Structure 1
């Protein structure tokens, strides 16, 4: 997945591209041979990709002919995934169609428009001939296909300029933009050529209007941000990008936690909560194996070489990696299924037209402050319940309940930081300390169970199990240290109460 950093400008028909060779750090601006580009754009019949700011095209001509999928910008950076030209001009490569499944939800991708562009590129270079910036002057003919919309064929023509960083830094892009604006260019009114061509054909979601400062506005705004985060991570998970599974799982957990904590504001979401729990569990299977495999690798790297005997690295590495791959395959299958698509549909509906209670119209600062306090009192209650249990195994389960309650309190506080400021930040910090300390302990317990199972399998295979015993000792000691540290962490988190 490449990162494309560019600015687009609308220009009049008589616009003259200024000389950018005099920009700081630049030595010359070289006009390159003109190019003719023909791009066919694909979308669902109801333009679901365009509605999300996504473009998917098959382009002929130019140095980057092929399939291009452009995902929405984040902080000025646009993610682009490319694929070589295929023999079929009408069937989107599976690799790309899969990356937008969270948006298309199984609806077929069809050609909706074509853009013919006569491009005049200019290469802005430094004294060593290295290209820092490319500026292209595009004369565009856009055609909306009749078959997609059941209307008369629509053709439109215009001119625009794009400046894209290829080797320089973002300050160069800003300076180039300033020069182009001075010459008569204006920041583009749309994010892409396709958006300009399709215009008001692109559907705009109808959202329930919520009065600013109300509990409903704060809660629903948070839910919308987490849904956006989940959808942004979906293609990253499918590309097996670093930390993507974790981030998507966190977004689903945060939404579920918010629906639980703010049930007095947004109601009738029990079914959605269960489905969020399901997808978080699907992702969790992958994430947990990923974490434990990395954990064992670091432990083995930290041991003296003479303590590592037998094929322990293969069993704790390759075996767990295989299981992780199987879990990932199950996650991919789930993310292509109707259950996942139905969940996304329900989430879209929920954030667009949320089922609000009368409390949603109340002032947020008073209504939601009570929720933050309630979430922390729940942690205190779970702690008291755990302390009353005499059986060690049952108490261990109860400690897990404290951790879950602390995580929920942390997520609730995070959601309220824009509203409650330092109060929410303090609560989030205290809840996080409880959650992480218990997490270290409970993760160590899980690691010991896995090591015991791997030891059994190694013994049955006739392998030396010495190193497994060493690792078990390390994990047991780490878990005990965390357990012993918890009373102090708890006292600090609760202001000295136990």
Structure 2
């Protein structure tokens, strides 16, 4: 089973002649202890076209040192990576294979670079002798293993400082000041792999050109679509690792994609995008099983915690926990099976194909300031009609359904405004912010509808088990009251969101 840790480190240029300065002068460092030399042998794996490296992800099998095994590293920010470690064996562990599946799909993962390092290790200690950071001087020899460039080699020396677990990153700042004063400068390459790939690359490979800035309406819509596709792929391993908010963010990216396809039908051919939209709706629904559970559990737990103890009759918290655990286990297994499934991988391939050969319509060549507002305002008119129909309904089931339809329309128009922001600037940003306020009210109302369904089911279960259903009924009443309050609030929120009229707002 793989385990995970947060790696915080900094790399510096060095030569075999580099001498370490006296780092006990760095704030917090009381002693530097030499830990000796070790030999490390790491084979980095990727697809033939280096898809992992393109996203600054490293996958290696390393022998030597105290952490032999497979290591998979995901970038978090500059100098910070999440490292997942699995035991040493001859084949890529399935846990790690799942985490890179959204990137590699069906492409084989092969050895691409071998790095052999002679590592000279020093421990930086505090006044109590506890480890602050590990400093190593690495003499690296790299060899290219792919067909393109096979046998090419490179060699260099670098210095690396890695923060110990649960230590203040200010230690790294203090050490860096000491190194800079001694003339040791930060490394140009972000990782050993990145440097190895660059220095052993075939001469004819060149470097990828930066994408041209968006010009027409089609460019802007495709740039937005590309950002959402990238988000789906990047969030896949986070969802598998159950990182906070990852399911929600991935679901939002799928919804933004689907909304863009529906809003910008004059720009992208719907004969291509409609089938993709159907598949995105399926994926969002599958992700929603887990996300909706999270929202519901948080909402009900907060309601129960806010009650005076005298109003909590029976094993209320225990029953909610049992129901939540059962839902969580089933949702987790289901979502992983979806991400491992053929249907999901085919969807990712189809999205890549759309970006590689966009199905542009004549409207794609229009000026963004003309085409994008027209599309967004059409969605706005649709939302206005749905809100009007919902508010015309008497309170009850039919109004709940109508408000749910308005909520979906509010999301769509908000996402449409977000897609237009790079082209239209502040007016689009203000418009999206106002639509989000409407979506928030409608979303909270829908959460109340779903909470009442869950509370009724819990009350039935409690009654059947001979427990008091009083507390569940009380919570049901609170949710019903909260929903009615949101319904009363909606007209004012909508009036504020609609002023000034969007057609005027687009003009700045």
TM-score normalized with structure 1 length = 0.88
Whether contact under 8 Å (1:51, 1:204) holds in the other structure is no
Per-residue deviation, 1:336 = 0.1
- CA offset at residue 331 of structure 1? 0.9
CA contact (8 A) 2:239 2:247 kept: yes
Match of 1:226 in 2: 228
Q: Per the alignment, do residues 37 and 473 of structure 1 end up closer, same or farther by CA in structure 2, a change over 3 Å counting?
A: same
**1:36 equivalent among 39, 44, 61:** 39
**Which stretches in structure 2 are left out of the alignment for 5+ residues?**
502-508
Q: Distance in 2 between matches of 1:331 and 1:253?
A: 17
> Cα deviation per residue 1:300-327 (whole Å; 9 max; x = unaligned)?
2222223222333333221232122202
Instruction: Tell me, yes or no, if structure 1 residue 118 matches structure 2 residue 118.
Output: yes
Equivalent in the alignment of 1:195: 194
Residue 154 of structure 2 is aligned with which of 153, 156, 164?
A: 156
CA gap of 1:228–1:423, structure 2 versus 1, over 3 A, is same
Unaligned runs of at least 5 residues, structure 1: none
The verdict on how the C-alpha distance between 1:71 and 1:396 changes in structure 2, with shifts beyond 3 A counting, is same
Cα distance in 1, alignment partners of residues 115 and 436 from structure 2 = 51
The residue number in structure 2 matching 1:332 is 336
Q: Is the 8 A contact 2:441 2:490 kept in 1?
A: yes
Q: Following TM superposition, by how much is the alpha carbon of 1:392 offset from its aligned partner in structure 2, in angstroms? A: 4.9
Q: Deviations over 1:116-149 (max 9, x none)?
A: 110112333444444444332111122334xx53
Alpha-carbon distance, 1:174 to partner: 4.7
Mapped to 2, the partners of 1:70 and 1:203 lie a distance apart of 25
CA shift, 1:265, in A, is 2.8
SS of the counterpart of 1:53? coil
Whole-Å separation in 1 of the counterparts to 2:369 and 2:30: 57
* Alignment partner of 1:354 is 2:353: no
1:365-391 Cα shifts (integer Å, max 9, x gaps): 343233333332221122234355579
CA positional deviation for 1:251: 1.5
User: Given the alignment of the two structures, is residue 96 of structure 1 paired with residue 93 of structure 2, yes or no?
Assistant: no
Question: Which residue of structure 1 lines up, in the alignment, with residue 506 of structure 2?
Answer: none
How much has 1:45 moved relative to structure 2?
4.5
Q: Distance in 2 between matches of 1:12 and 1:110?
A: 31
- The change in CA–CA distance for 1:488 and 1:191 in structure 2 (over 3 A counts) is same
Preserved CA contact (<8 Å) 1:122 1:135: yes
Deviations along 1:9-55, one digit per CA (max 9) or x if unpaired, are: 34344433444332344344443312211222233444332333211
Q: Is the 8 A contact 2:251 2:284 kept in 1?
A: yes
Query: Counterpart of 2:301 in 1: which secondary structure?
Result: helix
Q: Structure 1 runs of 4+ off > 6 angstroms?
A: 201-208
Distance 1:303 1:3 in 2: 39
Task: Compute the displacement of 1:337 (Å).
Answer: 0.7
For structure 1, which segment, 30-39 or 428-437, has the greater mean C-alpha deviation from structure 2 after superposition?
A: 30-39
Q: Say how many residue pairs are matched.
A: 492
Instruction: Quote how far apart the aligned CAs of 1:458 are.
Output: 2.9
- Which deviates further from its counterpart, 292-301 or 378-387? 378-387
What is the RMSD of the two structures over their aligned residues, measured on CA atoms?
Answer: 3.0
Establish whether residue 144 from structure 1 lines up as the match of residue 148 from structure 2.
no
State the shift of 1:210 in Å: 4.3
Q: Aligned partners of 1:379 and 1:172: how far apart in 2? A: 53
